[in-house]
Amino acid sequence: MDRTSRIALGSVVVAAVVLALKFVAYLLTGSVALYSDALESIINVAAALAALIALRVAARPADANHPYGHSKAEYFSAVAEGVLIVLAAVSIAREALPALQHPRVVEAPLPGLLVNLGATGLNALWAGVLLRAGRAARSVALLADGKHVLTDVVTSIGVLAGVLLASLTGLHWLDPALALLVAANILWSGWALMRESVGGLMDAGVDTATENRIRQAMSEHAEGALEMHDLRTRHAGRMTFVEFHLVVPGEMSVQEAHAICDRLEDAIQTELPGASVTIHVEPQEQAKHHGVLVV
């Protein structure tokens, strides 16, 4: 099991512990807002399991049926997590709307809030671990899980403050109102997560800053070539695929053209570690005089 899979497994354990603590907080208080917070933690457990499975699949090497590897499996995990988040928001709203019409007193607020606060602190620490590991490994699944857990932390802080305010002021309608705000917040985060993941499944290209880095590396390491054009990029999980056409003098030998291609591949992979680079070599007659000109 590699490091990303170990972190994903740790995420399942942490999510299960946080879920248990938040349900204890709900049982102590009967708070609809704390119930909504606990319900989101169920989604965290399911999402962590989905991320673990996706990472194990994505780690498989390329084979005859999947010559480009299995790295897109991470996007399915992120999409599934977004769907689960939306379902959680609907469930929270179903519980909160009747309670908004008939508010009830929050019982034993202090013990329940302290338990929830402990769970929130644990979540905050783990969100930092997931985001750092996801960026380091360029893992879509870990980043999606980290962003979701971080959203959960922000939500929990708002819930804690609101339940405490409702108890101190006697405005008990604040409890279900906060639950509805939690539902709206996680619904938005679920939509954003699915939109980003669907973009990856649809072979979205790299962002403008990354493309500029690629073009700069191409321009600086193509000595001997005349031009490069038709640059195309796409993401597939932690993999980035780069393709372009390289125009060289017609009389240049295959060995010389191959040496230029090697330099370009090394330069691009320095900018994007692990990138898969495909270069189509063309003679001078195929020059289009646009794209990345070599001077």
> pLDDT (tens digit, 9 = 90+) per residue, 142-196?
887 888 788 778 778 877 877 777 777 777 777 777 777 777 877 777 777 677 6
Name 235's bridge partners.
240
- d(Cα 99, Cα 32) in Å, to the nearest integer? 7
pLDDT at position 293 is 55
The answer to whether 198 and 220 are in contact (CB under 8 A) is: no
For position 295, what pLDDT does the model report? 41
Residues of the chain with pLDDT under 50: 295
What is residue 223's DSSP assignment?
Answer: T
Residues 44/149, Cβ–Cβ less than 8 Å: yes
Q: How far is CA 8 from CA 74, 81, 131, 137, 186, in A?
A: 12, 14, 12, 12, 21
In angstroms and rounded to an integer, the radius of gyration of the C-alpha atoms of the chain is 25
Q: Which amino acid is at 6?
A: R
CB 52, CB 12: distance < 8 Å: yes
- CA 121 to chain CA centroid, nearest Å: 21
According to the model, what pLDDT value does residue 158 have?
74
**Which amino acid does the sequence have at 25?**
A
